[in-house]
Structure 1
């Protein structure tokens, strides 16, 4: 039974990475140089990332053209160590592409416009595990058992695509204002399937299956209001992320449970499927303040980000169902977030005329107080499972300018550590698996970034070429 518990730890945390992209507001960054500065560019952004971080800087650039975000790949490692498991530990490593951005800048009506596309969140996990084992808990319930097979399948698919435009206007040589509007196409679905088959020496078979699934779609609008002011010694920027404006939303939920061959008092068959359920997605107000401070051959980038909390609300309004207890039980698919404040610092330094070095450091505190997930729905007590961790992001890279192009490359590193509780509980007969506390979980992510700037439309293009 321990092998199942340990593997569920890894599967569950793999699913929670998708939530990290929503509950950790600085988990992904956009724009080549903005990535290398760990997103600390509210008061100093100089690449296409301005549409995301502060659209007012669009008025400060003389550059026009098309831009494509640097290609980034990430190496993610999850390690679990149980102090009560005689030093046992498990790890899981994955390698995939990171979020992307593309867009361009153009002049119209004597003002500056930009268009951009963000792959804001993109997480797809489909994991399976199968194991054969017999232990005292199984044999106590089934004394004649000769074989036992347990299978787990977890699937999670989270996508959030932003498409929009930005406008900026320079009021005078020091003050500029801007606005970005993004249409968000959001979809999230999850599925948890667990089955146990026990075969006895007399060829009797006991079967347990529990399958839970949900889906949510949301279409809406994100608005960003930006401003920047140039003081004699530094640049100051302010960006306001308005709460998400939802236009269309719907959800679905399914649940099935089969218990057979355990005993007449335990035999169960349940099958529920609900479509077109009332659903909602909420994203809170956020305010970022940043400064760009030139120092000799370099610049310091400072940032502070405040994101408001969200009181508890239903992401999907699921009807009460009978889960086998003989009476209707509520299915709570809730979410709440606390207010968070993140701090960051970045630095750039001119090594020589055609070579700059970049570095950044940023906190990324988890906002979730309570978050809906498939294990909440499957747990017999419908207990809340808090997911998402506090991260620290570090970045480092260079911008090498050649005659006809610039090569931008670097790495980012993110990590978190926490004690972890298993969300996995199964009850049939007198057999149960309970939470296993004091499991240490470590998460690390390495991102490898490579981009190229190439002049496309005119000789002025420096920052907005391919690779931004």
Structure 2
């Protein structure tokens, strides 16, 4: 029997970063704003105003320094049937929550705030190994005696903001404000796949494919807000200007090795200084804080426009041994989304409030930034997007020296999509893909402090 080799032409899609980039309310900022699920455009009362509505700076008391929720989250991800029936890949992470810190000050009869926001943080790794010889392998290479596959997928997203907020009362009941942030954004991901087959005649065949990318972007984010105060409620408006990019670069790595087969192949590309771009769309938020006795109801609408197709990284065609060079698509597009939510701030005592809230968080991606199948069968787009509903609960305890906020946030999802992995051989149609199931759960546990130490020091002057 002539030798046959199982030629695995695989392409991995790494998607764990999508929620922090395509779901606009996945992370919230500011102590009470987290407990209210970000439904605070017209009612924010903490440092989260720099993010949600800068004009609200005129409505809060002086805060010498505050930092929100250097909290932690427990997240779990499970992929089923990714490498065939009954296969499971699990990942459980316990890590820090994106957070913010900063404070407020007065200068030249104007209110200012400074803030540092860890907007996005993803550092995920999934690994899988197996030595099970499946029927699919034996069908393609019946002389297989032993077999090993190792898979490693990873993604890293970091987006750090440093900002200054200004606000002023135009009229006694009307305020305007602006936040200007500098953003440092880094996005990278990749996959590594190794297959080793040993035949009954002790011949060894080996296949390896590695794909990786990196994108860096530096730019400006501007938020403009307005707030009008009525006797029983406030109405706020916030406009997020599209991202103003100052500098961007990208790189792409592709490595493929086939050895011990009827033929050997080696392809290696390390492409640097590629043209790249990052886009963030226009967003408009409207919200209100409605007083109900000494309690308050918070409601919000958030609309974000879409983005037409564009190249996140412009990668030239590469040679993978086919008649024509292979295109590498690294595109992105987004649809417009409308989110809504509400929160209740329940007064219990002068020093104790209880919070409960929810918000929708619809996924905006039509096509997200993935690496597609680079085989001769063409690029196959595997998209994953989740629509979440977030729930938050917590308490606000006011002590003499600080305000302490304690709470929790929960989201979960389950979705099925076409598996990005397929076993193919030369005479097999590459079109029958199984479904992979993704289950995701996240608990966030938050503890934040607001320490008005400057105000406290001022009040003590002359008293001691």
TM-score higher than 0.5 = yes
1:350 and 2:347 aligned: yes
In structure 1, distance between residues paired with 2:378 and 2:199: 30
1:329 and 2:330 aligned: no
Partner of 1:3: none
Partner of 2:365: 368
| 1:13-45 Cα shifts (integer Å, max 9, x gaps) | xx5231210100000000010000000000000
Q: Retained in 2: the 8 A contact 1:423–1:435?
A: no
In structure 2, distance between residues paired with 1:137 and 1:87: 14
| 1:201-232 Cα shifts (integer Å, max 9, x gaps) | 22211111111111110000000000000122
Matches within 5 A, 1:291-330: 291-330=288-327
Partner of 2:16: 17
| 1:238-289 Cα shifts (integer Å, max 9, x gaps) | 000000000000101111111122213xx32111111000000000000000
Q: Retained in 2: the 8 A contact 1:348–1:358?
A: yes
Partner of 2:3: none
Q: Retained in 2: the 8 A contact 1:379–1:425?
A: no
Q: Residues 114, 461 of structure 1: CA spacing in aligned structure 2 closer, same or farther, 3 A cutoff? A: farther
Of 269, 273, 276 in structure 1, the residue corresponding to residue 273 of structure 2 is: 276
In structure 1, distance between residues paired with 2:365 and 2:78: 22
Q: Residues 380, 259 of structure 1: CA spacing in aligned structure 2 closer, same or farther, 3 A cutoff? A: farther
In structure 2, distance between residues paired with 1:428 and 1:193: 20
Residues 374-383 or 170-179, more deviating: 374-383
Matches within 5 A, 1:4-403: 15-79=14-78, 92-264=91-263, 267-376=264-373, 381-403=378-400
Q: Retained in 2: the 8 A contact 1:332–1:377?
A: no
Q: Retained in 2: the 8 A contact 1:260–1:268?
A: yes
Shift of 1:89: 7.0
Q: Residues 133, 99 of structure 1: CA spacing in aligned structure 2 closer, same or farther, 3 A cutoff? A: same
Q: Retained in 2: the 8 A contact 1:424–1:434?
A: no
Q: Retained in 1: the 8 A contact 2:16–2:124?
A: no
In structure 1, distance between residues paired with 2:384 and 2:185: 20
Partner of 1:466: none
Q: Retained in 1: the 8 A contact 2:419–2:435?
A: no
In structure 1, distance between residues paired with 2:430 and 2:136: 9
Partner of 1:465: none
In structure 2, distance between residues paired with 1:455 and 1:117: 18
Q: Retained in 2: the 8 A contact 1:252–1:277?
A: yes
Q: Residues 440, 330 of structure 1: CA spacing in aligned structure 2 closer, same or farther, 3 A cutoff? A: closer
Shift of 1:157: 0.9
Partner SS for 2:172: coil
In structure 2, distance between residues paired with 1:221 and 1:271: 36
Instruction: Let me know the Cα RMSD of the aligned residues.
Output: 2.4
In structure 2, distance between residues paired with 1:256 and 1:54: 47
Residues 110-119 or 377-386, more deviating: 377-386
Q: Residues 351, 86 of structure 1: CA spacing in aligned structure 2 closer, same or farther, 3 A cutoff? A: same
Q: Retained in 2: the 8 A contact 1:60–1:170?
A: no
Shift of 1:378: 7.2
In structure 2, distance between residues paired with 1:377 and 1:54: 45
Partner SS for 1:331: coil
1:442 and 2:409 aligned: no
Shift of 1:426: 4.3
In structure 2, distance between residues paired with 1:212 and 1:338: 28
Partner SS for 2:419: coil
Shift of 1:375: 4.5
In structure 1, distance between residues paired with 2:258 and 2:88: 33
Q: Residues 255, 439 of structure 1: CA spacing in aligned structure 2 closer, same or farther, 3 A cutoff? A: closer
Q: Retained in 2: the 8 A contact 1:69–1:451?
A: yes
In structure 1, distance between residues paired with 2:209 and 2:376: 10
Q: Retained in 1: the 8 A contact 2:419–2:433?
A: yes
Q: Retained in 2: the 8 A contact 1:181–1:224?
A: yes
Q: Residues 51, 78 of structure 1: CA spacing in aligned structure 2 closer, same or farther, 3 A cutoff? A: same
Q: Residues 372, 405 of structure 1: CA spacing in aligned structure 2 closer, same or farther, 3 A cutoff? A: closer
Partner SS for 1:249: strand
In structure 2, distance between residues paired with 1:32 and 1:327: 56
Partner of 1:4: none
Residues 375-384 or 346-355, more deviating: 375-384
In structure 2, distance between residues paired with 1:411 and 1:60: 26
Partner SS for 1:52: helix
| 1:395-444 Cα shifts (integer Å, max 9, x gaps) | 00001112222221011111223222211134355579866545543322
Shift of 1:91: 5.1
Shift of 1:302: 0.6
In structure 1, distance between residues paired with 2:309 and 2:374: 17
